[in-house]
Structure 1
Amino acid sequence: MIAITGATGQLGRLVIDALLTRVPANQIVAAVRSPAKAQDLAAKGVIVREADYSRPDTLVSALTGIDKLLLISSNEIGQRAVQHQAVIDAAKQAGVKLVAYTSVLHADRSPLGLAEEHRQTEAALKAAGLPHVLLRNGWYTENYLASVPSALQYGVLMGSAADGRIASASRRDYAEAAVAVLTAPDNQAGKVYELAGDSAYTLSELAAEVARQSGKTVTYNHLPEAEFKAMLVSVGLPEPLAQLLADSDAGAARGALFDDGGQLRRLIGRPTTPMKESLAAALKG
Structure 2
Amino acid sequence: MSETILVTGAAGQLAQRVIHHLLETYKVAPGAIVAATRNPEKLAELANKGVLSRKADFDDAAGLEQAFAGIDRLLIISTDALDTPGRRLAQHKAAVAAAVKAGVKHIAYTSMPAPDNSLVTFAPDHLGTENAIKASGIAYTIFRNAWYHDNYMHSMPHNLQGGKWYSATGNGKVANISRDDCALAIAAALASATSESTAYTLTGAVSLANRQIAAIVSEAAGKPLEVVDVNDEQLGQGMRGAGLPGFIADMLVSADANIRAGNFDIVTGDFTKLTGRQPQSLKDFFVAHKATLTAAGSAEGH
TM bin, normalised by shorter chain, reads over 0.9
Query: Which amino acid counterpart does residue 184 of structure 2 have in structure 1?
Result: E
Q: Distance in 2 between matches of 1:36 and 1:256?
A: 40
SS at match of 1:162: coil
Task: Name the counterpart of 1:230.
Answer: 237
Q: Distance in 2 between matches of 1:161 and 1:136?
A: 21
- Work out whether residues 119 and 254 of structure 2, in 8 Å CA contact, stay in contact via their aligned partners in 1: no
Task: Name the counterpart of 2:299.
Answer: none
Task: Name the counterpart of 2:80.
Answer: 75
Q: Does 1:205 align with 2:208?
A: no
Q: Distance in 2 between matches of 1:133 and 1:112?
A: 22
- 1:1-285 aligned at under 5 Å gives the runs 1-21=4-24, 22-77=27-82, 78=85, 79-188=87-196, 190-285=197-292
Compute the TM-score of the two structures, normalised by the length of structure 1: 0.96
Compute the TM-score of the two structures, normalised by the length of structure 2: 0.91
- Work out whether residues 2 and 67 of structure 1, in 8 Å CA contact, stay in contact via their aligned partners in 2: yes
Output the aligned Cα RMSD. 1.3
SS at match of 2:256: helix
- Work out whether residues 196 and 258 of structure 1, in 8 Å CA contact, stay in contact via their aligned partners in 2: no
Deviations 1:64-100 (A, max 9, x none): 1100001101111231110001111111111000000
Q: Distance in 1 between matches of 2:177 and 2:227?
A: 21
- Work out whether residues 106 and 195 of structure 2, in 8 Å CA contact, stay in contact via their aligned partners in 1: no
Q: Which runs of 5+ in 1 are unaligned?
A: none
Number of residue-to-residue matches in the alignment: 284
Q: Distance in 1 between matches of 2:272 and 2:228?
A: 32
- Work out whether residues 139 and 195 of structure 2, in 8 Å CA contact, stay in contact via their aligned partners in 1: no
- Work out whether residues 119 and 257 of structure 2, in 8 Å CA contact, stay in contact via their aligned partners in 1: no
Q: Distance in 2 between matches of 1:160 and 1:177?
A: 30
Deviations 1:206-247 (A, max 9, x none): 222222222222111121011101111110110000000010
* Aligned-pair identity (%): 36
SS at match of 1:176: helix
Q: Which runs of 5+ in 2 are unaligned?
A: 293-302
- Work out whether residues 102 and 135 of structure 1, in 8 Å CA contact, stay in contact via their aligned partners in 2: yes
Deviations 1:252-284 (A, max 9, x none): 111222212211222121110100111112212
Query: Which amino acid counterpart does residue 50 of structure 1 have in structure 2?
Result: K
Query: After TM superposition, where is structure 1 displaced by more than 6 Å over at least 4 residues in a row?
Result: none
